[in-house]
Structure 1
Amino acid sequence: MRLRDLLHPHLDGISSVVECHAGSLTLEPYLQLPDGVAYARCAPDAAPERFPADQLPIGILGPDAGRHGDPDDAIGLIPRLPPGGRALILFGFPSATLPFHRLLDALSRASCQVLQLASLDYDHVYSGALVASTDRLQVPRDPLGDPIASDDGSGPQLGLELRIANEYIFTDFVSRGLRVRLFDLEEQVRERPLPPAPSAADAPVGPAGENRRSGTPGGDHASPVPGPQTVVGTPGAVPPTADAPPDSPPPPADAQDATAPLADLRARDEANRAAVDADRAAVDAARGEAERARAETERIAQSTSYRLGRTIVTAARTPSRLRRLPGDLGRIWRNRGVAERAAASRAAEKPRPKPKPAARTGSAGASSAATADPAETEVRRFLAHTALAMTPRRRPVIAGILRHETAGALAAGSTVSVMTPNDALLVLERVDPDVFLVETAAFAPSRPWAYGGTAAAVERDGRVMELIDRAHRQGRPAVLVRDERAVDAAGLQPLEARFDLVLGRSEGDAGAGEADAGGAWSRGVSLERFNPIGEPPDRRSEPLFVGRIDPRASAARRRWTVAALGALVDQQLEIRLDPLDPDGADGLPPELRGAVRGVAPWDETPELYRATGVILAEPVTAGSRGGVLAPRTLEQLACGARVISGPNDALASAGLGSSVTMVEEVAAIGRLVRAAAVEGLPSDAGLRDMLRVLFQQHASPVMLARIIRALGGLSDPLAGRSVAAVAALGSESDPAAVIDSLLQQAHRPNEVVLIGTPSITAVGARPLEEAGMAVQAVDEAALDRGWSSILEELDSEWVALWPRRGNPDPGHLLDLVVGGEMSRADAVAYDATDGLRFVPGLDLRAGIVRRTLLAQRSASIPGPTDADTGLPDTLADGWRVFSVGAERSA
């Protein structure tokens, strides 16, 4: 497992990761943190006494102080975790020698539990444990995700139960390495040849000291050698036999003299046999080591990397061969893997030495992977790489053949693993995803799965078929997204019947094929990545176009696009190309190539869009059969830019307001672009309306939820938008008006906590329950015992403090949740001023707070609390608080 695979599923609510050790190792390149999660490093003595709840420290417990730091520093991170906090402890010890006993007492004292423990594929860090501070024992789960027990872990012996649970996890982890070693030893015993039958050379010595091999007295031994049967004591004494009782009289003296040579010969014979066996074992070990070294040398010599390096070095030393270098490199690349397979075949055909005491030693890399038995490899991998997850999945887990853009967008509502042709089967096995997703656009040129579904790479079609069958055997559905024309991956059409769901393309065309069973689909827009937060004060007024002119579009659409771009060249049009477009600038007419200003990688486009005021849509014009909007256009709108588009029915009917300007005649596009630049950015009200539409209809979690609903039985990707409203039905409020305002919300709460007398709450709960909301009635007297037990009964991501006075706008909750999804803040509320921004503190009497953070810190939040609810009125001091501007009046 990679370090990022262990860490990323536990980054919910984390804003920064701190590497805290004094060793020379640097983990930052291997973390690959997502956007919004910062990296920092500090010395152990500079670490705070208690880490913030949104900060995840990383420590290393290893034997090398120079590389890993002091082991006590890693153990010292555990008591510094706040309630609900998490830490990652990495181990520099192999799993078989893991000193987990040093952690058990620290974990128990700090009420911490190991959530996950897994092997890591690195040289100096062999495994890692994700630790969380908790006030209740979380139910362990087996590798298949089923609960092991039903006890909730509450009770006075929590420390003892935590120690038992942690010791079980560590012991199970260490035992896996021992099981691997036991498996290797059993294989050695099974493959060891039987000892040869006794020969004349090994015949026993006769009773009178005569050797039966040579017929001469005394045999070939010149001097007696004490052996295992020699008795030290009286000279000439004969060792007792099993047939003679202990108290029997000693044999006669002449009998002793006759048997003394026999004892000496037996002793010498046993000693010689032991010496011969030791020499034979040493020879076999040396022979096995030589065979392994020869196989490893041959493997390296036939590897593509070695041949490429040797060819380049040879050409550098011999300038006359430089002109042949491109052809030689291309030949090596085309034949990659062939030489390795041939070497493996030759190694498999070689007769193995009969005695194989060291055929499978425990040393890493001792035997070539090419000669390993596939069945044995699968068994050893199962034993060595089985991690135990302690928490249930709250987000869908997706693995698939995806573009980088699609994986990044879907990560807003799920955990995504991207497969490559080399590791696809391994990823599917280790990740065990909820959905196996295949996107035909991932088979485009310049991508890892390039030319899949065509005759140029038929082996990748076989790999896709194998992945579908493997996913079905694991009980996981397979989904195909045909977001490009079928000709791009024609080889996948026969496989469509194997998929559980087939979705259509994101953009229609007049020449597009038949309708798709699952409807049109696209990745949508990730609002946490594409949003107007942090936009510069002044945006550039020159128009921008990002993308390409699709060569597969109709001739009329291509002419319209070229004419529109040509009309904007005089207005300093800037063209940014897709970095993975194989045509590049050659796909543009000569008159437009001068406007190209490089490429626009997807990860860098948010800043580009936020700095630009007017952007030309891509595609500039679309056919009348467009099903959903192009993701790139949605991303540009989400960043607050004005989008200019030619005829596009889907965009015109999307209800995006003044942020979109439609152009019917290409001659008018220059005038409309100048007018949009003069008009400036959309108003705050127009921007808020546009963001509402994107959030409700086109956001990535919404598009993913369409797939999840069609499949059924999986985690809801929209769970991060759920809200629990806390409403006080006291004397200062109108209960009927409060209930009515909750029912009128465009984004209705999933749960409602009504505070008041039983008679009032019973009347208010009835219409809310009929509307599908879960209602929890709380007596005012129960607030004296605190909010911990009440919050534990809630499942929503957010808790909203409902205003007691006034009539909130139907979009009250909607705007707050939109702000939370864009900012990933701890709390969101309205402010008196306009604009989207982070603020140092905020009044929360009409805002939302993350439930998990509120449960952890409700008792220690500074500031006044509401008299009716007991929850804080304001938030500051370490909380990430976000303002969505002034609230609209109802």
Structure 2
Amino acid sequence: MSEPLADTAPGDAPDDAEGRPSTDSARLRSQLRQAEARAERAERALERMERSAKYTVGSLFVEAARSPRRLVLLPRDLWRVWRLRKSRRGSGASTPVTRTRRDEVLDLDAARLLLPRASARPDAAFTIVGALNEELATAWSPYAAVTSALPHEAAEIVSAVGADVVVIDSAAALPGQPWSFLGDPAAADRQIAAQRLVDAARERGIPVVLLRTTSPAHTAFLEPLASQCDLILDGPGSSRGTPWNPGIDPAAWPMAGAGVGDRAVIVGTDPLTHSRVPLADRSLIQALAHALHGAGIHTITPDPRYPVVPARRAALASSAFGIASPLRVAPTMVGGSAGSLGTLASGRRLLGSTDVDLDRLLPRSSWARVTVDADTDLVAAIAAARVPLGDDERRLVLREILLNASVPVALDDLSHRLGLRAHPKACWDVSLVLTDPDVDAILLQSWRPREVLVSAPLAGRAHAVLAEHGIGVVVTHGAGTRDDLSLAASCPLVAAQVEITDPHAIADLLVERIAGMSARARPSDAALWSAS
């Protein structure tokens, strides 16, 4: 089932829905819980450190250095530590005395930190643990430390690894997903596992978010769990409660060639063959299927046997345009699927019905979508959809996705709603090199720099205005080479020789770097490079 998008851009805070926690109350409860848990976490961390193997072995070496007698006994003491570890691995049961002795010399939580799926990005600025479906975890993983926990270990992973936020995605409860049948009254074990996950998060002061990305039929029995969450968000495919866009990874939807003119890609459930299409839409779908057949166009979907990203690449490489899934979004549902956004990001046009959420997210690129309804000339619409986007058109689409519907922007908005200090957008922060800073032009940038590198100190007012908007100022003292500027910058990316009068100059440089596009013609030799 494809992911329909959200009602608002990630940065927009929607009105609170009746019966749901407001953004302010969620933030206050989260901060209170974090404050109450901070002392307890510190005490537990100290206790674990004192009974860890590292601490025990280190203490033995320190004592051996202080006393020659202890130096002679050091091999024996180290052998005892090794023997206790071997005994722990070899026997499943233990007496209370043995367990107490082991706890004195072994860190029982350390092994959990070595879990291979604990995160593909342990150095990321934002850490997420929870019940996530494969597609969402794949989209978030390049920009956050994402651990998609299984039901039998979720609570233990939260207790051992910790996180900035715990997310429970209702799509993870669909058949074939790790938490399948969560919310089904007959699957009590799933409900118990989810409750243990929430309890473990609350004990550590970690906010819990319920992300509903499926229809109300799949989330009706999650209300008891929802009442214990700090924030409830209605993402793609859910009803309009508290709409939110989880974002897409622009780099995962590359332009994979010109495509084949007689194929159309559908990233999600095929609306032309799905058995649960509403009766009101069947006539339009049948007419569209007939028009596609008459034009000699075959529809394809990503192969579910392969990982998400490679399957999308293969499907896009052999398609000329995309078909929205679902074809028509009901007014009561959150529209705009991730598949639709990704199809546009890949440089292909999208054919489908009116979608207010796509219009909201991409307000300046409506020309990239071919809208069809009962009165549309479908033959002409299909012909228009087969025309690929040009480089400038695709750059504009990607720019809007970067600003409104990308994963770092969405996660940054989530962090802000929960009152967290994490900065998920840090991976795209830019240090802007300027010789004569124009403060007004800097503030008009659609993607503002995190800091400005200048050769000489700024005037007091200019410095104060930039600081007021969260933009730092670093004096480079005449540094001119890339290496020197990279050393002076605190951001992962550095931009120089930027035509600052263009409000989209930095955003376009980011788009070209992320999507691998060729540089557009500019009056200056603008460059964006990695500071590392």
Pair in the same fold by TM > 0.5: yes
Q: Are positions 1:419 and 2:99 aligned together?
A: no
CA distance, structure 1, for counterparts of residue 495 and residue 60 of structure 2: 45
Match of 1:545?
A: 266
Residues 376 and 560 (structure 1), Cα distance of their counterparts in 2 relative to 1, 3 Å cut: farther
Residues 703 and 440 (structure 1), Cα distance of their counterparts in 2 relative to 1, 3 Å cut: same
User: Are the aligned partners of 1:413 and 1:701 in contact in 2 as well (CA < 8 Å)?
Assistant: yes
User: Are the aligned partners of 1:623 and 1:648 in contact in 2 as well (CA < 8 Å)?
Assistant: no
State the shift of 1:447 in Å. Answer: 1.8
Q: Are positions 1:776 and 2:470 aligned together?
A: no
Match of 2:493?
A: 798
Residues 619 and 789 (structure 1), Cα distance of their counterparts in 2 relative to 1, 3 Å cut: same
Map Cα deviations across residues 681-700 of structure 1 (whole Å, 9 max, x no partner).
11222111111111111112
- Secondary structure of the structure 1 residue equivalent to 2:377: helix
CA distance, structure 2, for counterparts of residue 708 and residue 851 of structure 1: 25
State the shift of 1:489 in Å. Answer: 3.8
Q: Are positions 1:501 and 2:247 aligned together?
A: no
Q: Are positions 1:455 and 2:185 aligned together?
A: yes
Q: Where do residues 423-572 of structure 1 align in structure 2 (5 Å cutoff)?
A: 423-507=153-237, 512=239, 515-516=240-241, 519-532=242-255, 535-537=256-258, 539-546=260-267, 547-549=269-271, 554-572=278-296
Match of 1:660?
A: 369
User: Are the aligned partners of 1:646 and 1:666 in contact in 2 as well (CA < 8 Å)?
Assistant: no
State the shift of 1:457 in Å. Answer: 1.2
CA distance, structure 2, for counterparts of residue 665 and residue 681 of structure 1: 25
State the shift of 1:811 in Å. Answer: 1.1
- Secondary structure of the structure 1 residue equivalent to 2:129: strand
Match of 1:683?
A: 390
Deviates more, 1:562-571 or 1:787-796: 787-796
State the shift of 1:669 in Å. Answer: 2.2
Give the letter aligned to residue 467 of structure 1. L
State the shift of 1:832 in Å. Answer: 4.8
State the shift of 1:641 in Å. Answer: 0.8
State the shift of 1:741 in Å. Answer: 3.5
CA distance, structure 1, for counterparts of residue 335 and residue 154 of structure 2: 30
CA distance, structure 2, for counterparts of residue 460 and residue 538 of structure 1: 43
Give the letter aligned to residue 332 of structure 2. R
CA distance, structure 1, for counterparts of residue 510 and residue 98 of structure 2: 51
Match of 1:650?
A: 357
Residues 705 and 372 (structure 1), Cα distance of their counterparts in 2 relative to 1, 3 Å cut: farther
Map Cα deviations across residues 453-481 of structure 1 (whole Å, 9 max, x no partner).
11231111001001100111122111111
User: Are the aligned partners of 1:543 and 1:572 in contact in 2 as well (CA < 8 Å)?
Assistant: no
371, 382, 386: which one pairs with 1:673? Answer: 382
User: Are the aligned partners of 1:606 and 1:639 in contact in 2 as well (CA < 8 Å)?
Assistant: no
State the shift of 1:779 in Å. Answer: 4.0
Residues 771 and 454 (structure 1), Cα distance of their counterparts in 2 relative to 1, 3 Å cut: closer
User: Are the aligned partners of 1:541 and 1:614 in contact in 2 as well (CA < 8 Å)?
Assistant: no
State the shift of 1:419 in Å. Answer: 1.0
Residues 387 and 600 (structure 1), Cα distance of their counterparts in 2 relative to 1, 3 Å cut: closer
CA distance, structure 2, for counterparts of residue 368 and residue 671 of structure 1: 70
- Secondary structure of the structure 2 residue equivalent to 1:528: helix
Map Cα deviations across residues 394-449 of structure 1 (whole Å, 9 max, x no partner).
51111111111100101132111111123323322332121111101111112222
411, 414, 424: which one pairs with 1:707? Answer: 414
723, 726, 731: which one pairs with 2:433? Answer: 726
User: Are the aligned partners of 1:563 and 1:666 in contact in 2 as well (CA < 8 Å)?
Assistant: no
Map Cα deviations across residues 308-348 of structure 1 (whole Å, 9 max, x no partner).
xxxxxxxxxxxxxxxxxxxxxxxxxxxxxxxxxxxxxxxxx
State the shift of 1:613 in Å. Answer: 1.6
Residues 602 and 529 (structure 1), Cα distance of their counterparts in 2 relative to 1, 3 Å cut: closer
- Secondary structure of the structure 2 residue equivalent to 1:413: coil
Aligned residues: 457
State the 4+ residue runs in structure 1 displaced beyond 4 angstroms.
141-145, 168-175, 178-185, 371-381, 386-389, 391-394, 550-553, 577-580, 598-602, 760-764, 786-793
Structure 1 unaligned regions, length at least 5? 1-140, 149-167, 186-360, 581-597, 730-734, 834-842, 853-890
Structure 2 unaligned regions, length at least 5? 1-41, 62-76
Residues 538 and 374 (structure 1), Cα distance of their counterparts in 2 relative to 1, 3 Å cut: farther
Residues 171 and 541 (structure 1), Cα distance of their counterparts in 2 relative to 1, 3 Å cut: farther
User: Are the aligned partners of 1:526 and 1:700 in contact in 2 as well (CA < 8 Å)?
Assistant: yes
Q: Are positions 1:639 and 2:363 aligned together?
A: no
82, 91, 94: which one pairs with 1:367? Answer: 91
User: Are the aligned partners of 1:542 and 1:571 in contact in 2 as well (CA < 8 Å)?
Assistant: no
Q: Quote the RMSD (CA, aligned, Å).
A: 4.1
User: Are the aligned partners of 2:258 and 2:317 in contact in 1 as well (CA < 8 Å)?
Assistant: no
Residues 602 and 799 (structure 1), Cα distance of their counterparts in 2 relative to 1, 3 Å cut: closer
Give the TM-score normalised by the residue count of structure 1.
0.46
Map Cα deviations across residues 612-665 of structure 1 (whole Å, 9 max, x no partner).
221111111111234352111111111111110023332345322322111122
Map Cα deviations across residues 287-311 of structure 1 (whole Å, 9 max, x no partner).
xxxxxxxxxxxxxxxxxxxxxxxxx
- Secondary structure of the structure 1 residue equivalent to 2:147: strand
Match of 1:595?
A: none
User: Are the aligned partners of 2:431 and 2:453 in contact in 1 as well (CA < 8 Å)?
Assistant: yes
Residues 561 and 601 (structure 1), Cα distance of their counterparts in 2 relative to 1, 3 Å cut: farther
Match of 1:382?
A: 108
State the shift of 1:846 in Å. Answer: 1.6
Give the letter aligned to residue 545 of structure 1. I
State the shift of 1:366 in Å. Answer: 3.5
Residues 558 and 520 (structure 1), Cα distance of their counterparts in 2 relative to 1, 3 Å cut: farther
Residues 486 and 173 (structure 1), Cα distance of their counterparts in 2 relative to 1, 3 Å cut: farther
User: Are the aligned partners of 2:399 and 2:511 in contact in 1 as well (CA < 8 Å)?
Assistant: yes
Map Cα deviations across residues 747-772 of structure 1 (whole Å, 9 max, x no partner).
1212112214x5x6557545534544
User: Are the aligned partners of 2:127 and 2:146 in contact in 1 as well (CA < 8 Å)?
Assistant: yes
CA distance, structure 2, for counterparts of residue 536 and residue 788 of structure 1: 35
- Secondary structure of the structure 1 residue equivalent to 2:222: helix
CA distance, structure 2, for counterparts of residue 819 and residue 444 of structure 1: 36
Match of 2:508?
A: 815
CA distance, structure 2, for counterparts of residue 567 and residue 393 of structure 1: 50
Match of 1:59?
A: none
- Secondary structure of the structure 1 residue equivalent to 2:475: strand
- Secondary structure of the structure 2 residue equivalent to 1:776: strand
- Secondary structure of the structure 1 residue equivalent to 2:319: coil
Map Cα deviations across residues 772-830 of structure 1 (whole Å, 9 max, x no partner).
421223444xx49x888875564322111134xx664211111011223334xxxx994
Give the letter aligned to residue 536 of structure 1. G
Give the letter aligned to residue 777 of structure 1. V
State the shift of 1:385 in Å. Answer: 2.5
Q: Where do residues 215-364 of structure 1 align in structure 2 (5 Å cutoff)?
A: 362=86
CA distance, structure 2, for counterparts of residue 442 and residue 503 of structure 1: 15
Q: Are positions 1:404 and 2:134 aligned together?
A: yes
Map Cα deviations across residues 374-408 of structure 1 (whole Å, 9 max, x no partner).
9949956616527699x996511111111111001
- Secondary structure of the structure 2 residue equivalent to 1:718: helix
Residues 576 and 610 (structure 1), Cα distance of their counterparts in 2 relative to 1, 3 Å cut: closer
User: Are the aligned partners of 2:128 and 2:144 in contact in 1 as well (CA < 8 Å)?
Assistant: yes
- Secondary structure of the structure 2 residue equivalent to 1:455: coil
305, 308, 315: which one pairs with 1:608? Answer: 315
User: Are the aligned partners of 2:444 and 2:503 in contact in 1 as well (CA < 8 Å)?
Assistant: yes
Identity of aligned residues (%): 22
267, 282, 298: which one pairs with 1:574? Answer: 298
Give the TM-score normalised by the residue count of structure 2.
0.74
Residues 676 and 496 (structure 1), Cα distance of their counterparts in 2 relative to 1, 3 Å cut: closer
Bigger radius of gyration: 1
